[in-house]
C-alpha cells in the first residue's frame, strides 16, 4: 500500500514515460463490458467508452462504474476481469478496499460531534489529547481539529516512514504507534500537506470524546442508518469478506510486466484514514446522503465545503480540499464533490454533481502511468456529465 492515494500520484508521474510503451501494448482490444440499463435511460455510450479505455488502452485488470441519477435511477457497467487467474468477469458492485474515501466517513463523524457541541473545529488538539502530538517541533496547542481534517496541520504522513509495503502489509498497528512514527519525520512545512496521520489523530479525538471506538461511532452514526450492508471496518482481517475481485499491483523490471496479487492486507496501518471496505452502491449512497443534507446540518455541510487549494502532485488539477471532501470543477458546469482512495491493489473514486447525480468507480489494479490516472478521472467526469442516449459528454 502507498498512502491511500496521494503517494501513488507521485509514483505515477515518475513512471509515466518509462512505463507508457509497455502499457499501451498491453491489450489490443477493449475487454468486454456488461451493463444494466433501466428502461428509458439510454445506454450511457460516452461513459461506456471511457470505461473500455481504462481496461483496453491503459491495460488495467478490471473496472466498474455505477451511476445513481435522480432522473434515471441506477446504471452500472463493468469491464475486464476480477481474477486474472480464472478470468472471472469484473462484477458491477464489487466489495473493494476504498482507501482514503474512509477519510470522509471519519470527517462526518467528527462534524456530527461538532454539531452536538462535543467537539469544536477551532479548538486545539491539546484540548482533547493534551501533549499527544508535542514532539519534534509540533505543538498540539497550535493545531486545530479543523486543520487536521483539512490537511493544514503541518503534521507529517506516517505512511512516508515505510520503504515498502512488506513493512506493514501483515502487521497490526495501534493508532498511537502510527502517530509516533509520523512525529519522527521531518515536518512538511506550512500550507496544505496531505497526511493520513491527520485522520488518525482525528479518529483518536472521536474516541476520547465519546468513550467509544471510532469504528463503533461510524457504524452507529453512518453505516447502519444508511443501510450500507457492504461496508465494514476489517480490523486485523487480511481477507475481504464475501465475493470480491482480486487486487493487483503492476510490477515492472527487466523482464515482462507482471501483476502481484495484493488482495490480502492488514489495513490498521491506515485506520481512520483508509481502512474501510465498501461497494460502489454503498459509496454512492453515502455521498448522496451527505451532499443531500441527510447526515449533517446545513451549516456543518457548508463547513465541509470550505476549501483550500490542494497540491496537484498529491491530488489532481483543479482539486481543492475541504473537511474530508475534495471539490473539483466539473466540465459540464459547477463542482463535483467527493474523494478518492488508492491502496495497493485497489483504486476508487466517487463524487456527486450539482444536480445530484452520483458516480462511483472502482478498479482492481492501481494506475501505473499518468495517462491511466487521467483516464480514471475522465471516467468520473464523463459519468457525471454524459446524457443517456446522446453522444455528447
Q: Which residues are catalytic?
A: 100
Give CA–CA dist 251/253, Å, rounded. Answer: 7
Are 363 and 345 in contact, with CB atoms under 8 Å apart?
no
Closest CA to 286 of 217, 355, 351: 351
| Residue 358 near residue 287 (C-beta atoms within 8 A) | yes
H or E element at residue 180: helix 175-183
Per-residue DSSP letters for 104-148? Answer: HHHHHHHHHHHHTTS--TTSBHHHHSTTTT--TT--TTS-BHHHH
Contact (CB, 8 A) for 43 and 67: no
Residue 331: Cβ-neighbour burial (10 angstroms; 0-12, 13-18, 19+):
middle
Cβ neighbours of residue 84 under 8 Å, at least 6 residues apart?
61, 246, 248, 259
SS3 3: coil
d(CA 133, CA 126): 8
Q: Which residue has the cell 501533549?
A: 131
List for the chain the helix, strand, coil content (%; round to 5). 35, 15, 45
Amino acid at each position: 500500500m502507498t498512502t491511500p492515494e496521494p503517494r501513488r500520484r507521485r509514483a505515477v508521474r515518475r513512471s509515466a514515460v518509462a512505463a507508457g510503451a509497455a502499457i499501451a501494448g498491453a491489450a489490443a482490444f477493449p475487454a468486454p463490458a456488461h451493463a444494466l440499463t433501466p428502461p428509458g435511460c439510454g445506454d450511457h455510450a460516452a461513459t461506456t467508452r471511457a470505461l473500455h479505455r481504462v481496461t483496453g488502452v491503459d491495460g488495467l485488470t478490471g473496472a466498474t462504474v455505477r451511476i445513481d441519477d435522480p432522473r434515471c435511477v441506477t446504471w452500472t457497467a463493468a469491464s475486464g476481469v476480477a481474477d486474472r487467474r480464472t478470468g472471472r468477469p469484473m462484477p458491477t458492485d464489487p466489495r473493494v478496499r476504498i482507501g482514503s474515501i474512509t477519510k470522509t466517513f471519519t470527517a462526518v463523524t467528527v462534524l456530527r460531534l461538532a454539531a452536538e457541541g462535543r467537539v469544536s473545529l477551532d479548538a486545539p488538539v491539546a484540548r482533547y489529547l493534551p501533549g499527544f502530538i508535542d514532539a519534534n517541533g509540533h505543538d498540539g496547542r497550535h493545531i486545530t481539529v479543523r486543520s487536521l481534517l483539512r490537511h493544514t496541520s503541518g503534521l507529517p504522513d506516517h505512511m512516508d516512514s515505510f520503504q515498502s509495503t512488506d513493512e506493514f502489509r501483515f502487521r497490526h498497528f495501534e493508532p498511537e504507534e502510527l502517530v509516533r512514527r509520523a512525529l519522527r519525520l521531518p515536518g512538511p512545512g506550512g500550507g496544505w500537506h496531505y497526511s493520513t496521520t491527520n485522520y488518525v489523530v482525528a479518529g483518536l479525538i472521536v474516541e476520547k470524546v465519546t468513550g467509544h471506538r471510532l469504528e463503533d461511532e461510524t457504524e452507529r452514526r453512518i453505516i447502519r442508518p444508511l443501510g450500507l450492508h457492504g461496508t465494514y471496518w476489517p480490523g486485523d482481517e487480511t481477507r475481504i469478506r464475501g465475493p470480491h475481485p482480486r487486487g493487483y499491483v503492476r510490477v515492472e523490471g527487466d523482464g515482462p510486466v507482471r501483476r502481484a496479487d495484493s488482495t490480502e492486507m492488514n489495513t490498521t496501518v491506515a485506520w481512520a484514514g483508509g481502512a474501510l471496505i465498501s461497494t460502489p452502491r454503498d459509496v454512492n449512497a453515502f455521498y448522496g446522503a451527505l451532499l443531500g443534507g441527510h447526515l449533517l446540518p446545513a451549516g456543518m455541510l457548508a463547513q465541509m465545503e470550505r476549501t483550500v487549494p490542494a497540491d496537484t502532485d498529491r491530488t489532481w488539477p483543479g482539486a481543492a480540499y475541504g473537511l474530508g471532501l475534495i471539490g473539483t470543477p466539473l466540465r459540464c458546469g459547477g463542482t463535483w464533490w467527493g474523494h478518492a482512495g488508492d491502496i495497493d491493489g485497489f483504486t476508487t473514486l466517487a463524487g456527486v454533481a450539482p444536480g445530484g447525480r452520483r458516480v462511483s468507480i472502482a478498479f482492481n489494479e492501481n494506475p501505473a502511468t499518468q495517462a491511466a490516472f487521467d483516464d480514471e478521472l475522465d471516467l468520473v467526469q464523463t459519468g457525471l456529465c454524459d446524457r443517456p442516449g446522446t453522444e455528447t459528454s
